[in-house]
Amino acid sequence: MTVWETGINMFNRKPRRGITYLQEQGLLGSSHEEVAKFIHNEDRLDKTFIGEFLGENDEFCKQVMYTYVDQMDFTSMDFVAALRHFLDGFRLPGEAQKIDR
């Protein structure tokens, strides 16, 4: 298993730990832009854990969430298509407080 795959497996159990591990290995930058891009581009990330991470009540996670949404392109989509595209990348967390954020 490669270092990258180890980081992905860690993310799929504890997202913050996986991100920190990849950053410590020099494979992922520390900015919220780089983390949001990683979440968009890495298909092996568990969508439930993506939703949990983006819903955390922590300033860095909030910045990643805002950047994650800003990086999406809804051009030429009707509302329903845009909503489907938006919700395709993660699962909404079960806690109402996390969804409200």
Give me Rg for the CA atoms of the chain.
14
Residues near 37 by beta carbon (within 8 Å), at least 6 away in sequence: 71
- Say which DSSP state 92 is in: P
Q: Based on the residue annotation, tell me whether 33 is a catalytic residue of this protein.
A: no
10 Å CB burial of residue 42 (0-12, 13-18, 19+) is middle
Q: Which residue has the tokens 């051009």?
A: 75
Active-site positions read: 95
